[in-house]
Amino acid sequence: MLVKGKKNMAENIITIRENLVGGNKTLSKVTDDVLGVMERKPTKLWWFGFIIALTALGTGFIAVVYQVRTGIGTWGLNKTVGWAFDITNFVFWVGIGHAGTLISAILFLFRQKWRTSINRSAEAMTIFAVMCAGIFPLIHMGRPWLAHWALPYPNFRGPLWVNFRSPLAWDVFAISTYLIISAVFWYIGMIPDLATVRDRVTNKFKKFIFNFLSLGWDGSSRTWHRYETVYGLLAGLATPLVVSVHTIVSFDFATSSIPGWHTTTFPPYFVSGAVFSGFAMVLTLMLIARKTLKLEDYITRKHVDNMTKVIILTGGIVTLSYATEFFMAWYSGNGYEQFVFINRALGPFAWAYWIMLSINLIVPQFFWFKKLRRNLIIVFILSLFINVGMWFERFVIIVTSLHRDFLPSSWAMYKPSIIEIGTLVGSFGLFFTLFLLFIRFMPMISIGEIKSVLHYKGSHGGKK
Amino acid sequence: MKKYFIATFDNEFDLKEATVEYRENKLKIMDAFTPYAVHGLDEAMGLKPSRLTKLCFLFGFTGFILALVGQYWISAVNWPINIGGKPWNSLPAFLPVIFEVTVLFAGLGTVFSLLVISRLRPGKVPKQFSTRVTDDHFLMVLSDKKGVLNEKLAESISIKHNALKWKLEGESE
């Protein structure tokens, strides 16, 4: 009896396992479906999104030109709050990028096959988000045309080298390495699919472009063999890299002696917050892409389900970090530290603190319920909320810790200027413009990887 | 005159089984061409594990040494500046940059090696036996290099493993 029950259970497990790709696809159907997006005329919804994104980008462009010409005085900063909006946006965008690498590298190492439909676009998201992030410190330099001074190279200014003891110098290395490795990882992953496009297009110009980009890929199994090795190595390199990047970003704060920043919990706190916000952004983008490009068979409910579960986990870590910060402020017995945290919750920026806390604490809890996880409209709205909540987290950490100085006569308030808001809008414009162009002109789903998991269920069910 | 025997399959399982049998019958495999990375095909073909992992380590190690020595030389030898009374050689503070440069070198070096070893470069026009390889066909190409190509044998193995089609192709050198 018991044995029979066990057997039934095993059968059930096999039938419960959902296919990673919906519909009964053949190999060439996958090619058609994914590349069809590039071959069809864009939908009205795409144009609608693109025009909005382009408008936002234009707004940002005007704001950037104005502040570079006029100077950083156009911002709402003052002597006390010397870091505010731009660094908030910087940390926000870097954080967004982290989910892409998590999906492409960490889930690859854990052999999570469901990542195949979303890894390509998540990686693209990473690259665009890091580009958006890079804009802010560049502008903050005041003279962005001297940005290369942040790199160590022999020069006639001394030679004046960069200070390697400064976390800001570490940041330069971390962010640029992250951008380069992510871009390479993304491009290497795309080569076989670019070859598929090359062999499919008839337009001479397109053929030339894709022939150029696909590097002469011919599908040789010897090349595939090496390619797989390199892909695994890059995933192995990108995994500690992504953890290091937000750790180093958190060092920008943690190595200072400002109450509210000076804590050892910052690295794990920032990394989990980054994954939390990044997954929310991946969800936002994937739900849009899925709907507008009709890719429901590829980006399935299972993907959404899995991503919401990651959000529950990382949201929990973030909430734990909030609690830890408060506990440590009390436990440290340090009056300045205690003041900062009471001031965060009850001071002039309490509104921002409570927006952050209520969103980041409560919103992920909705995902415990399967009914809500399966309702894509609700998931979409909740993902937007998390994006907002995590933006406020950075704002709260940065501004509330600064606006009350050690010296009460230096206390000040901060309000972003219209130029700063314009720049933030512009960064969203850049992000969405690039993303919409990407899903239009490049294979946004990894065709090769999807094909390799097409029989995934079958191979586990004992059928070949 | 080189001779190739090209068998086309429509799935990875037939290709893998056929590959094992071609090898058992001492037929010389030139290469297989597949739309995606077929797991287990490397073993079936008898490919050795790639040495790129070792290269990756070497590149990473180069980056590590460069960043370590570079930072020390810059901060302690070439132009020492007193920053908050910290020691010239602030090794713990140099670790983040050492790590980043190591990863950067290892990553770029490995990818560059892949392109060189696999002869991939921008604009190269590949010699393809079929353009459907990048879509849905799995090709096995046997050559007569170092010996005679036993067409009859190759054909019978291909038929046995449900090959869609097979042909003999010559190429003048």
- DSSP state string for B72-105: HIIIIIIS---STT--SS-HHHHHHHHHHHHHHH
Instruction: Tell me the chain A residues in contact with residue B97 when contact means C-beta distances shorter than 8 Å.
Output: 164, 169-170, 173
Average pLDDT over residues A213-226: 89
How close B155 gets to chain A, by Cα (Å)? 21
Q: Do B79 and A173 touch (CB under 8 A)?
A: no
Is B52 in contact with A226 (CB distance < 8 Å)?
A: yes
Of A185, A211, A244, the CB nearest to B100: A244
Q: Is the pLDDT of residue A464 over 50?
A: no
Taking alpha carbons only, the member of A174, A313, A324 closest to residue A264 is A324
pLDDT-based confidence at residue A301 (cuts at 50, 70, 90): confident
Query: B2-9 and B29-33: which strand pairing?
Result: unpaired
Other beta carbons within 10 Å of B64: 17
Q: What single letter denotes the amino acid at residue A234?
A: L
Q: Which residue of B has its CA nearest to A448?
A: B36
Find the CATH number of the domain harbouring A182.
1.20.1630.10
For B72-102, write each residue's pLDDT tens digit.
999 999 888 888 899 998 899 999 999 999 9
Percent over 70 (pLDDT), chain B:
95
Q: Is B92 on the interface with A (CB under 8 A)?
A: no
Contacts of B86 in chain A (CB under 8 A): 165
The first and second tokens of residue B173, run together, are 């050198």
Question: Which of B29, B103, B124, B139 to mutate: most A Cβ within 10 Å?
Answer: B103
Rounded to an integer, the average pLDDT of B133-160 is: 79
pLDDT at A199 over 90: no
B89 CB within 8 Å of a chain A CB: no
Q: Would residue A179 count as lying in a domain?
A: yes
**Interchain contact B135–A (C-beta under 8 A):** yes
Cβ pair A92, A395 in contact under 8 A: no
Contacts of A230 in chain B (CB under 8 A): 50, 52, 110-111, 114
pLDDT of residue A396: 93
pLDDT score recorded for residue A69: 93
Looking at residue B164, its pLDDT comes to: 82
Question: Six-digit token pair at A104?
Answer: 């492409």
Q: Which two tokens stand for residue B36?
A: 């995606």
Does the pLDDT at position B36 exceed 50?
yes
pLDDT score of A38:
81
**In the predicted model, what is the mean pLDDT of residues A99-104?**
86
Q: What is the pLDDT of residue B103?
A: 96
Helix runs in A71-166, H state only: 85-101, 107-109, 119-140
Chain B hits for A233, Cβ within 8 Å: 52-53, 56, 106-107, 110
Half-sphere exposure of A449 (CA within 13 A, CB side): 25
Angle of the A85-101 helix axis to the A221-254 helix axis, nearest 10: 150
Residue A39 has pLDDT above 70, yes or no: yes
**pLDDT value at B149 more than 50:** yes
Per-residue pLDDT reduced to its tens digit, A142-171: 899 999 999 998 888 878 899 999 999 999
Is residue A63 in some structural domain? Answer: yes
pLDDT of A457 above 50: no
Which of B114, B127, B128 is facing A226, going by the closest CB pair? B114
- Terminal CA-CA length for chain A: 30
Interchain pair B111, A230: CB under 8 A: yes
Chain B residues with CB under 8 Å of A165 CB are 75, 83-84, 86, 90, 93
Mean pLDDT score, A216-234 = 90
Interchain CB distance below 8 Å, B118 and A223: yes
Could you tell me the pLDDT band of residue B49, with boundaries at 50, 70 and 90?
A: confident
Q: Which of A15-29, B114-128, B157-171 has the highest mean pLDDT?
A: B114-128
Residues of chain B with C-beta less than 8 angstroms from the C-beta of A164? 71, 74-75, 90, 93-94, 97
Q: What's the pLDDT band for A200 if we cut at 50, 70, 90?
A: confident
Q: Which chain A residues in 142-161 lie under 8 Å from chain B, judged by CB atoms?
A: 152, 158-161
Q: Which residue of B has its CA nearest to A242?
A: B100
Most B CBs within 10 A among A163, A165, A188, A207, hence the mutation to make, goes to A165
Task: Please state the domain count of chain A.
Answer: 1
Q: How many Å apart are CA A304 and CA A290, to the nearest integer?
A: 11
B41–A221 C-beta distance less than 8 A = yes
Cβ distance A159 to B79 less than 8 Å, yes or no, reads yes
The two three-digit tokens of residue A221, written as one number: 């199994």
Select, from the ranges A258-262, A419-423, B84-88, the one with the highest average predicted confidence (pLDDT): A419-423
In a domain, A5, yes or no: no
Higher pLDDT, A453 or A247: A247
Asked which of A191-200, A378-387, B13-22 is least confident by mean pLDDT, the reply is B13-22
Write a three-state SS string for A201-261: CCCHHHHHHHHHHCCCCCCEHHHHHHHHHHHHHHHHHHHHHHHHHHHHHHHHHHCCCCCCC
A chain contacts of residue B134, beta-carbon cutoff 8 Å: 192, 195-196, 198-200, 217, 219
Q: By CB neighbour count within 10 A (0-12 exposed, 13-18 middle, 19+ buried), where does B121 fall? A: exposed
Mean pLDDT of the A375-380 span = 90
Is residue B68 within 8 A of residue B94, CB to CB? The reply is: yes
Domain holding A73, by residue range, is 15-153+163-461
- From chain A residues 177-206, the ones with a CB under 8 A of any chain B CB are 177, 180-181, 184-185, 188, 191-192, 195-196, 198-200
Residue B111 sits at the chain A interface (C-beta within 8 Å): yes
The candidate with the shortest Cα–Cα distance to B134, out of B8, B38, B7, B35, is B35
Most confident of A128-132, B125-129, B158-162: A128-132
pLDDT at residue number B172: 52
- From CA B37, how far away is CA A220, in angstroms rounded? 9
A267: cis peptide before it, omega within 30°?
Answer: no
Read off the tokens for A13.
């497990």
pLDDT on residue A461: 37
- Residue A434 resides in a domain: yes
Q: What is the mean pLDDT of residues B33-37?
A: 88
Name residues 22-81 of chain B within 8 A of A (Cβ). Answer: 31-39, 41-42, 45, 47, 49-50, 52-53, 56, 60, 70-71, 74-75, 78-79, 81
| Domain contains A6 | no
Nearest residue to A181 via CA among A273, A101, A275: A101
Substitution target from B36, B45, B124 for chain A, most A beta carbons within 10 A:
B36
State pLDDT tens for residues B88-142.
Answer: 988 999 999 999 999 999 999 999 999 999 888 888 888 888 888 888 888 888 8
